[in-house]
Amino acid sequence: MKRIVPIVALVVLAAVGAAAWQWYFSDERAIRSRLGGLADTLSMPANTTDIARVTRLAGLRKYFADDVHVRFGGQEVTSRDSLLALVSGWAPPPGGVTVEFVDVQVTVDPDGASAHAYLTAKVTGRDARTGEPTIDAREANVAMARRDGDWVLSSAESEDTLQKP
Amino acid sequence: MLRAVVGSHPRAALLRSAALVAAAVVIFGFVLKPVRLEGISMLPTYKNGDFDFANRLAYLWHEPARGDVVAIRMAGPSVLYVKRIVGLPHETVEIVAGVVLIDSEPLVEPAVVLKAPWTMPAVTLGDREYFVIGDNRSMAMRNHDFGRASRDRIIGKMVF
């Protein structure tokens, strides 16, 4: 009995190690990490200067494919340049905003070159008048493609949770 | 000091603590989901910052009913809508001058005291669709998130 315990412990340890290894180098983890990076870039700390904002937003380029297709709240954008032009005109509130992608569900296609993510985009800010926290959230379907070894967004579409007539 | 914390029966204290933690994980993870409300769309029933629980077992034995305040998930349960059910599957919902009509009959809504004269064309709900609206209808209709929600998105009934 005493001899079995270390063997079982070793097997369990090896299984946990293998699972951790597989997870660490998986496409799913890479995609989640990429989406996390995008959310961080979109977040703006309080009182961000114009130069800091433009610098941050310039970093968005690496997250999108050239021919990215984005549909959000009735607006449609069909290239990365148009998207960046649109975003650069955005003035965040003085209190800043925090963007998070939560409840992310990733499915990697069998070819390993494309993937889909279904998530909730959550934007937390502060009301300029009352100082109260504000939350806006939208569901989104995101398609991703592997380009030059990195995962980039090839399309993104927001979805209404409650269907208005 | 340690004795004061664990008492004279450390094993029993440990078991009790483990049972308490396990019960908390089960209750708050699978039965009562804690919800902190943000925004004013459910005034006066809920104020901004109020705290409540969504009972995930409420609809185990019966389907959601009109008047229930329910939690509706987005992509997952981290961000929820909290709204009141006004329309049930197969019913026709219409809003005329701020009054909700169900199958052309005005709906009595005692919880709704803040109303603007919204007007929405009639919509007939599908097999597993519910029509949900917040209690605060004083804002412009376009600024209020409401509409049809499929049954599988309703994760529970608000407790208080």
Q: Note the pLDDT tens digit of each residue in B51-91.
A: 999 999 999 999 999 999 999 999 999 999 999 999 999 99
Distance CA B94, CA B137 (A): 15
Q: Does residue B101 register a pLDDT over 80? A: yes
Q: Which pLDDT score, from 0 to 100, does residue A142 have?
A: 97
Rounded to 5 degrees, what are φ and ψ at B43?
A: -60, 145
More confident residue, A136 or B133: B133
Across chain A, which has 165 residues, the per-10-residue mean pLDDT values are 81 88 86 96 88 88 95 88 89 87 96 95 83 84 94 94 87
Q: Which pLDDT score, from 0 to 100, does residue B78 have?
A: 92
CB pair distance less than 8 Å for B147 and A120: no
CB pair distance less than 8 Å for A105 and B153: no
CB pair distance less than 8 Å for B78 and A122: yes
pLDDT digits 0-9 by tens, B105-119: 999 999 998 889 999
Average pLDDT over residues B137-153: 93
ipTM of model over 0.85: no
Q: Which pLDDT score, from 0 to 100, does residue B3 have?
A: 60
Q: Does residue B2 register a pLDDT over 60? A: no
B145–chain A nearest CA distance, Å = 7
Residue with tokens 């592997």: A146
- The pLDDT-based confidence of B98 (bands split at 50, 70, 90) is very high
Q: What is the three-class DSSP state of A150? A: strand
- The pLDDT-based confidence of B122 (bands split at 50, 70, 90) is very high
Distance CA B148, CA B130 (A): 6
CB pair distance less than 8 Å for A165 and B83: no
Tell whether A114 is within 8 A of chain B (Cβ): no
Sheet strands side by side (includes A150-159): A75-77, A64-72, A150-159, A133-147, A114-126, A98-108
Write the CA distances from A119 to A55, A88, A112, B18, B57, integer angstroms: 26, 24, 20, 34, 25
For residue B142, the 8-state DSSP code is: G
- Per the DSSP assignment, residues forming a β-bridge with A98 are A124
CB pair distance less than 8 Å for B145 and A133: no
For residue A130, the 8-state DSSP code is: T
Distance CA B20, CA B108 (A): 44
Distance CA B9, CA B58 (A): 39
Distance CA A58, CA A70 (A): 18
CB pair distance less than 8 Å for B146 and A164: yes
In a mutational test of the B interface, the residue from A119, A160, A162, A164 whose CB has the highest number of chain B CBs within 10 Å is: A162
pLDDT digits 0-9 by tens, B8-39: 788 888 898 999 999 999 998 889 999 999 88
Q: Which pLDDT score, from 0 to 100, does residue B94 have?
A: 96
CB pair distance less than 8 Å for B48 and A139: no
CB pair distance less than 8 Å for A137 and B132: no
**Contact call for residues B54 and B30 (beta carbons, < 8 A):** no
Q: Interface of chain B against chain A, CB under 8 Å?
A: 38-39, 48-49, 72-79, 81, 83, 120-121, 123, 132, 145-149, 153
Tell whether A73 is within 8 A of chain B (Cβ): no
Q: Which pLDDT score, from 0 to 100, does residue B1 have?
A: 55
**Contact call for residues B133 and B55 (beta carbons, < 8 A):** no
Three-state secondary structure of A91-121: CCCCCCEEEEEEEEEEEECCCCCEEEEEEEE
User: Which is it for the CA torsion B46, B48, B52, B57, positive or negative?
Assistant: positive
B3–chain A nearest CA distance, Å = 32
Return the beta strands (E) in A43-149 as ranges: 64-72, 75-77, 98-108, 114-126, 133-147
A51–chain B nearest CA distance, Å = 32
